[in-house]
Chains A and B, each alone.
Chain A
Amino acid sequence: MAAAAVVRGIGSNLSKHLREVRLHLCQISAASQGSRDFIEQHYVTLKEANLELPILIRECSGVQPTLWARYGFGKERSVSLDNMNVDQVAKALESLVNAKP
């Protein structure tokens, strides 16, 4: 599974580069299906590699799925996860990890 490989690749780099990760998604809409699957399948692995990092998962009905990352000095970036599947969500996370704030 491509997503699993990406997540393993990110590993603990997540907490090295980011201060906080936020994932907003809808509990039932089709556009958030990929995000929901990502949490079901990969959240635990990601968290176990980054126990101190806050990975806030905030479900809210009707909201467009978005991934937010906070870097040092309060700088933030966001990526829309609308209609993405699990692999694309993993790639989006990877891009935020590697991005410069």
Chain B
Amino acid sequence: MLRLPAVSRALAVRTSARASSNMVEVFVDGKPVMVEPGTTVLQTCEKVGVQIPRFCYHDRLSVAGNCRMCLVEIEKAPKPVAACAMPVMKGWNILTNSEKTRKAREGVMEFLLSNHPLDCPICDQGGECDLQDQSMMFGADRSRFTEGKRAVEDKNIGPLIKTIMTRCIHCTRCVRFASEVAGVEDLGTTGRGNSMQIGTYVEKMFMSELSGNVIDLCPVGALTSKPYAFTTESIDVLDAVGSNIVVSTRGGEVMRILPRLNEDLLKYENILSPFTHTHLQGVQGSEVGAIAGGMVDAEALVALKDLLNRLDSDTLCTEEIFPMAGAGTDLRSNYLLNSRITGIEECDLMLLVGTNPRYEAPLFNARVRKSWLHNELQVAMVGHKVDLSYSYNHLGETTQVLQEIAAGTHPFCKVLAQAKKPVVVVGSSALQREDGAAIFKAVSTIAQNSRASSGVEEGWKVLNVLHRVASQVAALDLGYKRGVDAIRKNPPKVLFLLGADADCITRADLPKDSFIIYQGHHGDVGAVMADVILPGAAYTEKNGTYVNTEGRAQQTRVAVTAPGMAREDWKILRAISELAGVTLPYDTVDEVRRRLEEVSPNLVRYDDVEESNYFKQAHELSKAVNQSLLAAPLVPPQLTVKDFYMTDPISRASQTMAKCVKAATEGAASVDEPSIC
């Protein structure tokens, strides 16, 4: 138990200034603390710095109070109370280390261990097991168990989660997570008392894009990671949210990814070993072009841009298209998630256009669900009807609907006009269409109209773009052209593919004797058509800067060294520049970052989001766009869970993800698992 007396003194000073509000005074082991009414005993003790042991309580899930480990004695009360559930009353003295409290903890621990198998030596959770830690700290030192233990059958809930249900202590965290956060109400409890079992009752797969999180939630070794079984601070770049992760490694291979507070196993099919300056020495101007893919860090992007600019070329494109018309990417507010992910919790009406956030940005979707559950967020969608994990108002999937809302003739406009904090989110897949500029214009009009309506306060931002690739925002910040049209119009003789595997440009689009250079880590399509392959480093192997869809710059750190002769991408480009005769002016990562600052200063403001404005100006320019909307319905590329697992080159190379797709399409029994578990 951690005691931090300095914290409690500071708290007492701060809170006494608000004595006029209805704060309640409580004592924890004799120390006074002021808390708001409705705070539970457990939260009060945490405020003082005392950690009460618990299994079923989790601060992001609803309170269950079924493990009974958090029982503490309240002075002068007849029975101990469950700290996680009981709100404090005035004048209570909470005794966290008294005789009764200690006896309660030892008793609960004894009961929990009585049916728990002796699996510690073979359990994956060993060393990071809550049961182990709490029995050492709070359990009795000797056992009086002489009966037999019960055993439970294992359940098959998918290729990611290994279940050994004998170890389950029925804390119901997984049940509450599935029901509340994932929105998939598949897990539940069957039976009672000794014969209680957690599972899906019928053999059903736990089919959710967030299914792997129950592995982190389970306090014991009942739910563990199947890929990680028996086999290492960075950020996840497989979507544009930039979730913070810890990468665990063993012997140069990434073994598992754990969430960091603010999924998957990578098996390498990597490119291992490189010359090409001769081709670059001769070319100039529009004869050389480049395409940047979805997982490139900002350092490599700026190095490539500088290299090509020095060869007098401006033909630098991203694979992902973004409308070029109007203000395009001049104004950052045009392409960022302006309300930020935290803004979702404040908004009261959300309009989704042409996106399926459940599979494009699952954590964004989980936030929306949280807001829908607790803050009465209303959600409406223009696009193909998909199963988001919450109910929403489906307005239609044609662009006609979008036009009507922009013109003000659709009945939804009345709802939009009344919202105090509306948010409009357009998916980047909708902007990839040929009428992307027209769609953006319509969305921008809708956003401006609702901003101008009476209820919305001045600083609130309505327009948001949800990206799907991690490098898009950094590339747009640096000034890349969006989409490969520029390359199609003027096919270059030398094409540089930086991690570009989305098959946008093929050999057929280029002149006959063109030379293609591919630089990346998991090459599938891009590497196959290249003349030269330069092995680069993946995001877990380099210190790189990525900017998420909100515009927040974050850093990845080296978790494993890159295999074979692979190098950091910007270093490869620096070497090429020297050999091609246009040496780039930086030799260290700090110098590259100084260059990043020269181009766009927000790229080095790590972990912060910079506010961007000028919506009015952007809207004015977009009004001049003359494109008309196509009749095709707005259908996002990922519709069901089987589309979720193979969306980028790293996932496509992963055996685990392949198993997930097979299980999602054919059922859990179809996946072959080794019988030793």
- B328 proximity list for chain A (CB < 8 A): 54
Question: What class of interface size applies to chain B in its complex with A?
Answer: 20 to 34
Cβ of A74 and Cβ of B310 under 8 Å apart?
yes
Main secondary structure of the interface of A (DSSP, over half): mixed
Cβ of A63 and Cβ of B330 under 8 Å apart?
no
Within 8 A of B (CB), among A50-70: 54-61, 63, 68, 70
Stretch at the interface among B430-438, B608-616, B632-640: B608-616
Cβ of A27 and Cβ of B613 under 8 Å apart?
yes
- A55 proximity list for chain B (CB < 8 A): 330
The chain A residue sitting closest to B598, CB to CB, is A68
Question: What class of interface size applies to chain A in its complex with B?
Answer: 20 to 34
| Chain B proximity mask over A39-52: 1 for CB below 8 Å, otherwise 0 | 11001100110000
- A43 proximity list for chain B (CB < 8 A): 330, 614, 617
Partner of A60 from the list B314, B330, B610, B624 (CB cut-off 8 Å) is B610
Cβ of B601 and Cβ of A63 under 8 Å apart?
yes
- Given A20-B479, A56-B479, the answer on whether A47 and B330 have CB atoms closer than 8 Å is yes
Cβ of B601 and Cβ of A24 under 8 Å apart?
yes
Cβ of B310 and Cβ of A58 under 8 Å apart?
no
CB of B414 closer than 8 Å to a CB of A: no
**Shortest Cβ gap from B496 to chain A (Å):** 15
The chain A residue sitting closest to B481, CB to CB, is A54
CB of B312 closer than 8 Å to a CB of A: yes
CB of B647 closer than 8 Å to a CB of A: no
- A57 proximity list for chain B (CB < 8 A): 330-332, 614
- Given A19-B314, A56-B330, the answer on whether A39 and B614 have CB atoms closer than 8 Å is yes
CB of A72 closer than 8 Å to a CB of B: yes
- B331 proximity list for chain A (CB < 8 A): 57
A70 to B547, CA, bound (A): 23
The chain A residue sitting closest to B585, CB to CB, is A74
- Given A56-B479, A58-B332, the answer on whether A48 and B624 have CB atoms closer than 8 Å is yes
Cβ of B312 and Cβ of A56 under 8 Å apart?
no
CB of B137 closer than 8 Å to a CB of A: no
Cβ of A59 and Cβ of B309 under 8 Å apart?
no
**Shortest Cβ gap from B609 to chain A (Å):** 10
The chain A residue sitting closest to B611, CB to CB, is A27
CB of B329 closer than 8 Å to a CB of A: yes
Cβ of A58 and Cβ of B312 under 8 Å apart?
no
A78 to B601, CA, bound (A): 14
A39 to B312, CA, bound (A): 28
The chain B residue sitting closest to A20, CB to CB, is B479
- B309 proximity list for chain A (CB < 8 A): 19, 70, 73-74
A43-B330, A68-B599 given. 18 additional CB < 8 A pairs?
Answer: A19-B314, A40-B617, A43-B614, A47-B330, A48-B624, A54-B330, A56-B330, A57-B330, A58-B332, A58-B599, A58-B600, A58-B602, A59-B610, A60-B605, A60-B610, A74-B582, A76-B598, A78-B598
Q: Show the binding face of B for A, using Cβ within 8 Å.
A: 306, 309-312, 314, 327-332, 477, 479, 582, 598-602, 605, 610-614, 617, 620-621, 624
* 15 A-B pairs with C-beta separation under 8 A: A22-B479, A27-B613, A48-B624, A56-B330, A56-B600, A58-B332, A58-B477, A58-B599, A59-B611, A60-B602, A60-B610, A63-B601, A70-B309, A73-B311, A74-B310
